[in-house]
Structure 1
Amino acid sequence: MTAIDSDDLRNEALFVSDLQRSQHPTPEVIRAVVTETVDRLGEGGCAALVAQEFGEHPDCALGRMRWAQQAVRSAYEAA
């Protein structure tokens, strides 16, 4: 497991994960998904996919990033 200290990286990892807001994930699930995504893609991979999504789907990407930021903040405050 990777120790992730950057909220920016956490936000990006959650953003590019398959986890959906409609799944109403718990803080534990969010933290696990963030760790798994960073372990799988690395910091550069997460950033590249965020850029790709903002380029291809700017209308949806902003809302998803806002959700990711709020979810990460809540999940890591609870830790």
Structure 2
Amino acid sequence: MSASDLAQVLFTTPLQASDRPTAERVRAAIHDRLRCADPAGCAARVAQEAGDHPDLYAARMRWALETVAHSYAPCHLAAA
């Protein structure tokens, strides 16, 4: 999975930027979400949130992308 895919999955978890989650917690939340939902379902939920809350969407997605980048080493992203 790409960093973008992982960010979409992270976006759909209950984690918040204010939680200041560790890399381990981020990876666990993504893993748990993928066990319960497929990536296409996560993408659909992200799209729904973007439509319902465009004012909040950009900031949360930016956080998700940055958090994934810091939580996964480049070699893990290629293998994920």
Give me the TM-score of the superposition, normalised by structure 2. 0.87
Task: Give the AA of the match of 1:23.
Answer: D
Report how far residue 37 of structure 1 moved: 1.0
Aligned to 1:26: 22
1:56 aligns with 2:52: yes
SS in 2 for 1:25: coil
Task: Give the AA of the match of 2:30.
Answer: V
* Whole-Å separation in 2 of the counterparts to 1:6 and 1:67: 16
* Whole-Å separation in 2 of the counterparts to 1:66 and 1:7: 12
Aligned to 2:64: 68
Instruction: State, as a whole percentage, how many aligned pairs show the same letter.
Output: 40
1:13 to 9, 13, 16: 9
1:77 to 54, 59, 73: 73
Aligned to 1:43: 39
Unaligned runs of 5+ in 2: none
Unaligned runs of 5+ in 1: none
Moved over 6 A (4+): none
* Whole-Å separation in 1 of the counterparts to 2:32 and 2:5: 12
**Alignment length, in residue pairs?**
75
Give me the TM-score of the superposition, normalised by structure 1. 0.88
